[in-house]
A and B are shown apart, each in its own frame.
Chain A
Amino acid sequence: MLSPVNVSIESLNLMTLVPMLIPIVGALLIIVIDLFKSEQDKSLYVMLSLLILGVDFVSLMESAGIFKQNGTIMGVFDVMLIDGLAILSQFIIVGASLLFIPLALTHKRFHEFSYPEFFALFLFMIAGFQFMVATDNLILIFVGLETASLALYTLIAMHNRDKSFEAAVKYFTMGALAAGFYSFGAMVFYALTGSVEINQIAEVLAANSYADIGFVLVGVVFLLASFGFKLSMVPFHTWTPDVYEGSSAALAGYMSIVPKIAGFVVAMRLFEFLIHSGVVWLEVILYMGVVMTMTMANVWALVQTDVKRMLAYSSISHAGFVMAAILIGTTQSNSALFLYWILFSFTNLGSFSMLWISRQKNLPAHQQSDHSYDKFSGMVKTSPIAASIMGLFMLSLAGVPPFALFWGKMYMISSAVTGGYTVLALIMALNSAIAGYYYLKLIVYMFMKEPIVQNNGHVYVANATLPLKTIIGIAAMGTIFAFLAVNQLLEFVTAFVYSSGY
């Protein structure tokens, strides 16, 4: 006979669920609206999503305020964990989503945005990512990850092109494999320690001083592989360029930011204690992974003929660069990760949006693919402002000061220097130099070559509307004037990371 369980509602701290519940309720609301009156214009759903995400953002600011006063909060049977990492990453997730969703208001009509389900799925996905980062329970991480991923596969497929289906299926297969690896790894750790909470796993393992190191390593291998897929680390990256190519440029930009920050946070929670526990082998593997991801992705990006694929490889390389933070594992490096990713989200979303506004529905004869380099040839002659903005994003991605990403790069390399990883710091610097070439290639095409066919420049902004231009303007402003905000950002991020004990 089970004794009645007495749980006071206060001890559950249901407030910790609020930021995740907001998008879920919002998604349900959108579905309900569609039930009552279908065939609504997409602008309704876009604005509703925007409002919901805005509310979500405000609720996050409130949790940030509470965190600043009271420190880490646990809730809902200690499953939820609202610490600095959770709050920071949720800021990035919701903030990037806020910047993404107006991109649906294109000039041309696209299939996916006519379905309210797109927006509902989008909000579910955000909730999934939020759950994923706001817990250290391996099961809830899994649930969040799968919610978000399944929604994301569907979003990709809804673009309704042959390549999108290919991309969605590819992503789904790889994602399923990663999920399998993840659950297997989690199972090993549960078997070893009898717990699914990362901090308890760490405690138990430390208590018996890693006696079962063999099993720990097996678990780590599976988890590494799983996060390798999710973060597109070399050699688990093969799906990334195809999936980015198949999905719409806007969604590809989104995918290069939001799922990855969620993955980084979980990887940080998991691997931080393992690296610090002196499992040397893990450090070597991670070191190799970081260097390979940075370098190989850069080399592949050099030979791409399509700008979108180039940006896909470049974002793999950036992910490798940021993964170095987890390897270094100091407060400075973990803060650098968040600083980098905030600045990166502005720049990268901006550059993918520039591709998005030049989206063509039919390929002209001289173009191999939708965003081939040729298309941008001589762009400065016909639409100088668009070319300058695109050039700005490229310079920022290359790490030319004073644009946004330079500050992230600098702080990251500095954290490698401070953490004693001198060689890594040099490799990171040299990789930035290699990356300079392919970003420069686009600038060369835009500014120094003659147009291949005469056009009036309309092709570059064919898809542009006021909301899209606003988003690009915000991204460009964020990129140029980042140097004014770096200090506040850095203080904010460091305080949050530090007080969560990373």
Chain B
Amino acid sequence: MLDHILSILIFFPALAAVLGFVVNKNSIRSYGVAVATIEFVLALWLWFAFDPNASGMQFMEHIPLVKTFGINYIVGVDGISLFIIILAAFFTMIGIASLGETKDIKNMIVTLLFLQMTMVGVFAALDAIVFYLFWELSLVPMLYIIGAWGGPLRIYASVKFFLYTFTGSLVMLVGMLFMAYFYYQATGEWSFAILDWYRLILPESFQLWLFVAFFFGFAIKVPMFPFHTWLPYAHGQAPTIGSVILAAILLKMGTYAFIRFSLPLFPDASVYFMYPIAVLAIIMIIYTAMVAYAQKDIKQVVAYSSVSHMGVIILGTFALNVEGITGSIFLMIAHGVVSGALFFLVGVIYDRRHTKYMSEFGGLASVMPRYAAIFGIMLMASVGLPLTINFVGEFLSLLGFYKQSHILTLLAGTAIIVGAIYMLAAYKKMFFGVVTKDENRNLPDVNKRELMALIPLTIITIWLGVYPKVLLAPINTSVEAVVGLMHEKSLTQEAKSRIPNLSKDTEVITNSAENSAEEAH
């Protein structure tokens, strides 16, 4: 069974979703929780069986799909993707378990299970077309979740979300087809397998163009400044569960894809575009942090802060060294946990008051002490307090980039202070002072169902903040392989010097690099 565990992880939720149509409406919630729990246990089993010392792909499966055109169903997992898959399973589980009163709950749970298939699929796919397939397919359930359960502007928000991402990914598809064509020119065979592509060394000019094509797809998904405008709408209108999944998992597809595709495929282009992208990332960090400070709506604050932190992830990724990339992957998980939790918390208060305006609240700490405590912990984590999960990721990301540029890192660091300002200000407005509104006097504190989601998240936040090594070690192993491959493949002097040489760790890579005598000319 372990041989096919990834396929099971991908298609089990989809199968369960199809069967879910038959389940009675009153029992669908239990059904959803049961399925998601099984999926989560399977994901944990995957972690248990995963060999943290191996840097390559594990649990690979290979089924030809369109043989003549080199499209194969290839899945596999390494330290980079493993934890995001587990995170996806985890969030679907607690998301369904803590789902509040929702209309058409059956459709919602079935949709969530389909969404889970696409999420796991994206992170497990090792064939560009299969990757693209899940990547595009993930838009459809999210479109439905935002469009059917969202706020008043839901249709505009969902269509904007879909079209933005769809456009970007079509440009990316053209890039993928080019990449396959270059591979065909070099070897005489079509292949969309990422691991095959890794062995291809492209001249720098090709790399630049392809990097740009892939960049459109990924940057819109992340979303990077200036392509971020769809996200506040999507978050603003989406129901709580939609925002949680969107922030925790779907946005990570973009940053994950940078590490899976852009860096190892185009090392020279990555170095070439390092500064422009870093500048974009820093604009994104500072600008969205300032925008967040200006918001009146607590959900928008969380949404913009989430974009701001995605900037740090990008910065860490484009540090192009082991510390930075490891940090950015860790921060992806941390950001998923923390911003997912924050969206949950906003959902909790929204369910009670049906408003998200901070001016409507005040003094909540005395009315809802447990809520205030959990919110406080998550907020500290979001700000990047040491001993919380975010701190580890942010620190490593910035440390990584510090090796490339001191000034830019300093700028990014100041943004974290801005982050502290707007988050603390928001906290003060909502929780401290006296209760001014009568509606707020008798609000019930968080109930059991909500605690089911929030307590595990709080535990993870602190546990991984204190002891991140469980995750860092396997991530580090795989990242070293990626960085080694990049150094090996890079052509320009600039790139060779920017990307550190890890000769002691690159035995695996040197072997495969020896096989790749081919070049794209």
Question: CB within 8 Å of B: which residues of A?
Answer: 395, 398-402, 406-407, 410-411, 413-414, 417-418, 422, 425-426, 429-430, 432-433, 436-437, 440-441, 443-444, 447-449, 483, 486-487, 490-491, 494
Alpha-carbon separation in the docked complex, A411 to B174 (Å) = 11
Q: Using Cβ atoms and an 8 Å threshold, which residues of chain B touch A402?
A: 133, 137
**Given contact pairs A440-B159, A448-B148, A410 touches B173 in the complex (Cβ within 8 A):** yes
Assess the A429–B148 pair: CB atoms within 8 A.
no
Cβ-closest chain A residue relative to B148 = A448
**Given contact pairs A417-B181, A425-B174, A448-B148, A440 touches B167 in the complex (Cβ within 8 A):** no
Q: Which of B137-165 contact A (CB under 8 A)?
A: 137, 139-140, 143-144, 147-148, 154-155, 158-159, 162-163
Assess the B68–A410 pair: CB atoms within 8 A.
no
Assess the B140–A400 pair: CB atoms within 8 A.
yes
Assess the A401–B137 pair: CB atoms within 8 A.
yes
17 additional contacts, CB 8 Å, given A413-B174, A437-B159, A437-B163? A400-B139, A400-B140, A413-B173, A414-B180, A417-B174, A418-B184, A430-B171, A436-B167, A443-B143, A444-B159, A447-B144, A448-B144, A448-B154, A449-B155, A487-B64, A487-B65, A487-B68
Cβ-closest chain B residue relative to A395 = B140
Chain B contact residue count (CB 8 A cutoff): 34
B136 near A: Cβ within 8 Å? yes
From A418, A426, A447, give the contact of B147 (CB < 8 A).
A447
Q: Using Cβ atoms and an 8 Å threshold, which residues of chain A touch B415?
A: none
B177 near A: Cβ within 8 Å? yes
Assess the A486–B147 pair: CB atoms within 8 A.
no
Alpha-carbon separation in the docked complex, A252 to B69 (Å) = 33
Which one of B69, B148, B155, B180 has the greatest number of beta carbons of chain A within 10 Å?
A: B69
Q: Using Cβ atoms and an 8 Å threshold, which residues of chain B touch A413?
A: 173-174, 177
**Given contact pairs A490-B68, A490-B69, A418 touches B181 in the complex (Cβ within 8 A):** yes
Cβ-closest chain B residue relative to A417 = B177
Q: Which of B54-69 contact A (CB under 8 A)?
A: 64-69
B129 near A: Cβ within 8 Å? yes
Please classify the interface of chain A as helix (H, G, I), strand (E, B), loop, or mixed, using the class held by over half of its residues.
helix
B432 near A: Cβ within 8 Å? no
CB distance from A438 to the nearest CB of B (A): 11
Cβ-closest chain B residue relative to A436 = B166
B178 near A: Cβ within 8 Å? yes
Assess the A494–B167 pair: CB atoms within 8 A.
no
Q: Using Cβ atoms and an 8 Å threshold, which residues of chain B touch A486?
A: 65-66
B170 near A: Cβ within 8 Å? yes
Assess the A436–B65 pair: CB atoms within 8 A.
no
Assess the B178–A436 pair: CB atoms within 8 A.
no
Q: Using Cβ atoms and an 8 Å threshold, which residues of chain B touch A491?
A: 68
Assess the A401–B133 pair: CB atoms within 8 A.
yes
Q: Using Cβ atoms and an 8 Å threshold, which residues of chain A touch B166?
A: 398, 433, 436
CB distance from A404 to the nearest CB of B (A): 13
Cβ-closest chain B residue relative to A443 = B143
From B137, B144, B180, B184, give the contact of A400 (CB < 8 A).
B137
Q: Which 8 A-B pairs have the closest CB atoms?
A: A433-B167, A401-B133, A448-B147, A429-B170, A414-B177, A487-B66, A417-B177, A436-B166
Q: Using Cβ atoms and an 8 Å threshold, which residues of chain B touch A444?
A: 147, 155, 158-159
Alpha-carbon separation in the docked complex, A226 to B177 (Å) = 34
Alpha-carbon separation in the docked complex, A400 to B139 (Å) = 9
Alpha-carbon separation in the docked complex, A490 to B181 (Å) = 17
B132 near A: Cβ within 8 Å? yes
Q: Using Cβ atoms and an 8 Å threshold, which residues of chain A touch B170?
A: 399, 429-430, 432-433
CB distance from B419 to the nearest CB of A (A): 34
**Given contact pairs A400-B140, A429-B170, A429-B173, A490 touches B66 in the complex (Cβ within 8 A):** yes
CB distance from B373 to the nearest CB of A (A): 38
28 contacts between A and B (CB under 8 A): A401-B129, A401-B132, A401-B136, A401-B137, A402-B137, A410-B173, A410-B177, A411-B69, A413-B174, A414-B69, A418-B181, A426-B174, A429-B174, A433-B170, A436-B166, A440-B159, A440-B162, A444-B147, A444-B159, A447-B147, A448-B155, A449-B155, A486-B65, A486-B66, A487-B65, A487-B67, A487-B68, A491-B68
